[in-house]
Structures are given as structure tokens and as C-alpha cells.
């Protein structure tokens, strides 16, 4: 490298370092080296394993910083150097080399239901492209979880470890888990990534116990660089499985491997888990995902429309769909598919009227929110002839359970309170209890006209008296 080129690159590096955080610069930009400056082009050499990712993620930044040093007419070309072995992230270098060569164990295109035992190596096991960071719609309800997941994927073992993502079913936890796996594979093909579920871990462990395969089981789950486990709440009340997962967690964490876990509840609410395991889950970053707000739901629908190439959509149609489903992204996309399918089969245009017709009964309209939890509870007690103590009690009799479900359903519909806040106001219940109550109420409203009328009457009474 000439002295002049070296001086130019030092100035570029200085601007790069100022433009990003320390860890990003250290991992991705510090290894870059200038190869040549000729004919208005600066050629920069990147490590072969991460060249494509650096072009995609930092190409514009490289162009702008170089132009700031050499002038706007300069262009930057990023090329890869000679491939070299990816050093293991922890001390098990021989095991890593063995795993990387063992391609027959790779399991491409796995889904959540058949993810048992999936070890991913590089691009050979690229998953469903829908489960990527590019296809994840960011909103206020999931911004922290998305940012943390992206950081972990870019810097496995160096940022938040463990990362614990929690939220109700259908809000995007599995999407983020799969996005992490895909990005790690893309940027660090030498690292091994194992994805599993709490149920799959339990099943494999029980099979290993029954058939004398514990050594192989431990190798499969402990000799990895990134372990991603979905639905860890499934481990509750399974004493021997919890014990094994505890030791697996410790082995990986002490070796510097990255752990990412998801659950339908935060660690503190996994009361049936052993304290020592729950404490480890809380030791890293806990990022929760809430159900999406209206703007996020609309963004999700627009992205799905674009992905599926849906055309001739009348204005207001997506607003109708987004106004019907508030808790579950999967249900939201399912409602869009239902409306589009009906339009195709019936030969009718995609209009707000069609969407309303298709979704009526299944997903009643979400109306303006203007009540307090106390007002809803009082109105439910008056309407169903209960005392406040009965409504908030632990009774599960039909006489009490249905009014409580209705009150929680309307609390979700007519207030801006979060699910945990609603649960606390209904006898300090967990947010998953609220989700269950809302879904039970939705089902009964959609299938029983008398129940639908009772809820409509109570809603009307609340809205006529609320300010």
C-alpha cells in the first residue's frame, strides 16, 4: 500500500468510526483494507465471508465517507480478499470444524413445527425469505425487540446474551428468531446455528434418555455457536428437562455462545420454572413485543399486499381489515387472505364493503376507545348482575367467567391499556389470561347471536355514558 493511499484510508476510517457505534465498527468496518485508487474508483477489500453483507449494509456509508475525503466524483468498489477459515467464537475449535464439515445433518427450509434438531450452516440452509429482517414491520410495539435481535444477529455472543423475547402468540417472536438465524448464516457462515423449540428440546431429551443417546444429544445442543429456542415456556413443570436445559444454557453461555429465547410471558411470570433458570433468562436483555397498533397493522397488510402482488385493491379495504384484528399478526394476515380468496372465488372486486361482509361475525368492528377500566367493570357488573368482588374473584363458574371475559374483551377494545395492565385490574391476572378471555369472547360473539347482542348492548351503554 502506498503512503498516500494509507493516509487517505486513515481519514476514511476516522469518518467511518465516527459514524457508527464501537462494536459495529470493530466487527464490520475495521477489517476493511484499501487495495487500489485508480480512475476515480477506490477499491476496498473486505473479508470473503462478510463481503456481500458489508456491501449491502454499509455500501452507502462507505461511498459517502469516501466522497467526503476525496470529493463527490469518487466511487467505491468493495471486493473480497482471499477466503480464510472463520475462527471459532469460543474454544471448541475442533468441534466447530467437525460440525462445519458435517453437511448431511443440515436441515433446510424447516418450519416451526419441524424445526427439531435443525443445525444451520451458512447459505446451505437458508430459510423462508419471509422470515427476514427486511420483511419484519417495525412499530412502537416491537421496536426494542427488533433492534436487539438485529444487534445479536450482527454481533453474536458480543451484545445481549441471552436475549429473551416475550409476547403473546402471533406478534412476531418466531419471525425475529428465524431472522436472526438467517442473518447469522449469511454473515458468518463458519458459525453453527441451532434452532429448536421448547417442545422439540423436550422430545429429543426424552428420546435420548430412553435410547441411551445422551452424549449425542449434548453434542447437538452444546457444540453450537448460536442457540435459538422458541416457546421456552414449554419447559415448565418438566423437572428433568429443565435440569438439562439449565446445564445446556450454562455450558453455552460460559463458552461465549449466543442464546436467544422466546416465550409467551416474561421470565418473571414463568413461575413454574426453577428459580435458577428463570434468573438466567432475566440476566440478559428482556424485550417484549405488544400487539401491533393500527398504523403497524396497516403497514403489515401493505407489505403483504406488495409481497403477494395483490392488485386492484379499492381504497379503504385494508383499513377495514386492520380495524377488525388487534392482537394477532397471523390472524391479521389470515383475514387478508380470506378476503382476497373470497374476491377471487366470487369474482367480486376488493372493496371495503366486501371486506366487511367477509369478516362480519368473525371479527366485529373495533370502535373508538374512550372508556376506563373501572367504568367497564362497573357496567359489566350491572349488566350481568354481579358484584365487583365476584367479577374479580377466582371463580370459573359460567355465571362469573363469561361476564369477566366480556369485560376483558371490551377493556381491550375500548381502552388504551396494555394487556398486563388489564390483567392487573382484573384481580392481578396474567396478560395471557386476558388474551385467552378476549379470544373466548371473540369466538362466542362470532358463533352465538345472543352473546353478540349482549356485548353490543353493553358496548352501546358504555359509549352512551362515556365522555
The pLDDT tens digits of the residues spanning 218-238 come to 999 999 999 999 999 999 989
Sign of the alpha-carbon dihedral angle for 200, 203, 207, 213: positive
pLDDT surpassing 60 at residue 151: yes
Mean pLDDT for 320-344 is: 89
Domain ranges of the chain: 3-80, 98-289, 294-359, 373-465
> Would the CATH topology of 98-289 be identical to that of 294-359?
no
* Fold that domain 373-465 belongs to in CATH: Chromosomal Replication Initiator Protein Dnaa; Chain: A; (1.10.1750)
Instruction: Using a cut of 0.85, tell me whether the model's pTM lies above it.
Output: no
435, three cell numbers = 388474551
6-38 per-position pLDDT tens digit: 889 999 998 888 887 666 777 778 889 999 999
In the chain, the percentage of residues whose pLDDT exceeds 90 is: 50
Domain 294-359 CATH assignment equals 3.40.50.1220: no
Cell of 288: 417484549
The Cα angle at residue 245 between residues 198 and 431, in degrees rounded to 5: 45
Q: Is 107 exposed, middle or buried (0-12, 13-18, 19+ CB in 10 A)?
A: middle
Q: Is the peptide bond before 457 cis (omega within 30 degrees of 0)?
A: no
Neighbours of 464 (CB within 10 A): 7
Q: Is 215 exposed, middle or buried (0-12, 13-18, 19+ CB in 10 A)?
A: exposed
| pLDDT at position 88 over 50 | no
Residues 6+ apart with CB under 8 A from 337: none
Mean per-residue pLDDT of the chain: 84
Q: Quick one: cell of 452?
A: 353478540
Q: Which residues of 227-245 are buried (b: 16+ CB within 10 A; e: fewer)?
A: bbbbbbbbbbebeebbebb
Taking the alpha carbons of 61, 66, 71, 74 in that order, is the dihedral positive or negative? negative
Taking the C-alpha atoms of residue 145 and residue 218, their distance in angstroms, rounded to an integer, is 29
Confidence of residue 370 (pLDDT cuts 50, 70, 90): low
The pLDDT of residue 459 is above 90: no
DSSP classification of residue 237: T
Name the CATH superfamily for 3-80: DnaA, N-terminal domain (3.30.300.180)
The pLDDT of residue 112 is above 50: no
The predicted-structure confidence for 423-455, as pLDDT tens digits, reads as follows 999 999 988 889 889 888 888 887 787 888 888
CATH of 98-289, picked from 2.60.120.260, 3.40.50.720, 3.40.50.300, 1.10.645.10, is: 3.40.50.300
Place of cell 438485529: 150
**The pLDDT of residue 92 is above 70:** no
Q: Where do the DSSP E strands lie in 147-221?
A: 163-167, 192-197
- Average pLDDT (259-267) is 93
Amino acid at each position: 500500500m502506498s503512503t498516500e493511499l494509507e493516509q487517505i484510508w486513515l481519514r476514511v476510517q476516522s469518518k467511518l468510526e465516527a459514524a457508527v457505534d464501537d462494536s459495529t465498527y470493530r466487527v464490520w468496518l475495521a477489517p476493511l483494507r484499501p487495495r487500489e485508487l485508480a480512475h476515480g474508483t477506490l477499491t476496498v477489500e473486505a473479508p470473503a465471508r462478510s463481503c456481500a453483507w458489508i456491501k449491502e449494509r454499509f455500501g452507502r456509508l462507505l461511498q459517502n465517507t469516501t466522497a467526503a475525503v476525496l470529493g463527490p466524483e469518487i466511487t467505491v468498489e468493495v471486493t473480497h480478499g482471499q477466503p480464510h477459515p472463520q475462527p471459532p467464537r469460543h474454544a471448541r475449535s475442533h468441534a466447530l470444524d467437525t460440525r462445519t464439515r458435517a453437511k448431511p445433518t443440515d436441515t433446510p427450509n424447516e418450519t416451526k413445527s419441524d424445526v427439531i434438531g435443525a443445525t444451520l450452516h451458512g447459505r446451505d440452509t437458508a430459510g423462508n425469505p419471509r422470515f427476514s429482517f427486511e420483511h419484519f414491520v417495525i412499530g412502537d410495539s416491537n421496536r426494542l425487540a427488533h433492534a436487539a435481535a438485529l444487534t445479536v444477529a450482527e454481533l453474536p455472543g458480543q451484545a445481549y446474551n441471552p436475549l429473551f423475547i416475550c409476547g403473546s402468540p402471533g406478534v412476531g417472536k418466531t419471525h425475529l428468531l428465524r431472522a436472526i438465524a438467517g442473518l447469522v448464516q449469511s454473515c458468518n457462515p463458519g458459525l453453527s446455528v441451532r434452532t429448536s423449540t421448547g417442545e422439540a428440546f423436550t422430545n429429543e431429551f426424552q428420546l435420548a434418555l430412553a435410547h441411551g443417546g445422551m452424549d449425542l444429544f449434548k453434542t447437538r445442543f452444546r457444540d453450537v455457536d448460536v442457540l435459538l429456542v422458541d416457546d421456552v415456556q414449554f419447559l415448565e413443570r418438566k423437572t428433568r428437562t429443565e435440569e438439562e436445559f439449565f446445564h445446556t444454557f450454562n455450558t453455552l453461555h460460559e463458552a461465549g455462545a449466543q442464546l436467544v429465547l422466546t416465550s409467551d410471558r416474561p421470565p418473571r411470570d414463568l413461575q413454574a420454572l426453577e428459580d435458577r433458570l428463570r434468573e438466567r433468562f432475566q440476566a440478559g436483555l428482556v424485550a417484549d413485543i405488544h400487539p401491533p397498533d393500527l398504523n403497524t397493522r396497516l403497514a403489515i397488510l401493505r407489505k403483504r399486499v406488495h409481497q403477494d402482488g395483490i392488485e386492484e385493491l379499492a381504497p379503504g379495504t385494508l383499513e377495514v381489515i386492520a380495524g377488525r384484528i388487534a392482537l394477532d399478526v397471523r390472524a391479521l394476515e389470515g383475514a387478508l387472505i380470506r378476503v382476497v380468496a373470497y374476491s377471487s372465488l366470487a369474482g367480486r372486486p376488493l372493496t371495503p364493503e366486501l371486506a366487511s361482509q367477509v369478516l362480519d361475525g368473525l371479527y366485529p368492528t373495533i370502535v373508538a376507545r374512550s372508556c376506563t377500566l373501572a367504568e367497564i367493570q362497573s357496567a359489566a357488573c350491572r349488566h350481568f348482575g354481579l358484584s365487583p368482588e365476584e367479577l374479580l374473584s377466582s371463580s370459573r363458574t359460567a355465571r362469573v367467567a363469561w361476564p369477566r371475559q366480556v369485560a376483558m374483551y371490551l377493556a381491550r377494545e375500548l381502552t388504551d391499556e396494555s394487556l398486563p395492565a388489564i390483567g392487573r385490574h382484573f384481580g392481578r391476572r396474567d396478560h395471557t389470561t386476558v388474551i385467552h378471555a378476549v379470544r373466548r369472547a371473540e369466538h362466542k360473539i362470532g358463533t352465538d347471536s345472543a352473546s353478540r347482542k349482549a356485548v353490543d348492548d353493553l358496548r352501546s351503554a358504555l359509549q352512551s355514558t362515556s365522555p
